[in-house]
Structure 1
């Protein structure tokens, strides 16, 4: 969701910048511009137009991926809710009976913590 908002904002900024660049691209070479400056202005206009074309071509795929992600997310959330309710319902209907061990028990002496009191040879 955040990436969709960020992409939308970037697209809006590109469109606003494109309007300014388009005015520069439509102009003929100004007499005060050098060939070097004109070349890069022209190159910038071509790159900008290419980026717009790519973004326009990729839009249907991005929309399809976004819709698929939304459907997947909602189906996972729905399955989680179903499983959660199933587990909580089973836990509430199961009687809680303490387990009582009625078998024989033995007492086992523990070893001293310090080990044997006589030193080893």
Structure 2
């Protein structure tokens, strides 16, 4: 989150620096050596840079408000993380109470694992017939 705020501020700073250099070109009178084509694009560039300056000025309060909100959000998240971390480490350090079950138990016979072969199948008798 901090990196986004830093990146936005760097971009805004670069825009302001570029606007200042273009402003010097805009204030200069039309150079007779330049063609109409070059003057046309220079004029458009000046208008775009002036519009960008206006956008930057209009966006400043919103950017500051977003930055403050991001700081508040980051600090609350860090605080909640610390609380949770301390709660988990405190829970791990306290010994757990062992529970003993005093209920009566029954012995249940287990079923055989493999069924036995019946005697009739083990010793087949020949049938008369």
> Which residue does 2:48 correspond to in 1?
47
> Which residue does 2:113 correspond to in 1?
109
> Which residue does 2:31 correspond to in 1?
30
- Of structures 1 and 2, the larger Rg is shown by 2
Distance 1:90 1:2 in 2: 35
Q: How far is 1:50 from its partner?
A: 0.5
5+ long unaligned stretches in structure 1? 111-121
CA RMSD, 1 decimal: 2.5
Structure 1 residues 109 and 70: alpha-carbon distance in aligned structure 2, compared to 1, 3 A threshold: farther
Q: How far is 1:96 from its partner?
A: 6.1
How many pairs align? 109
Distance 1:9 1:108 in 2: 78
Structure 1 residues 62 and 30: alpha-carbon distance in aligned structure 2, compared to 1, 3 A threshold: same
> Which residue does 1:81 correspond to in 2?
82
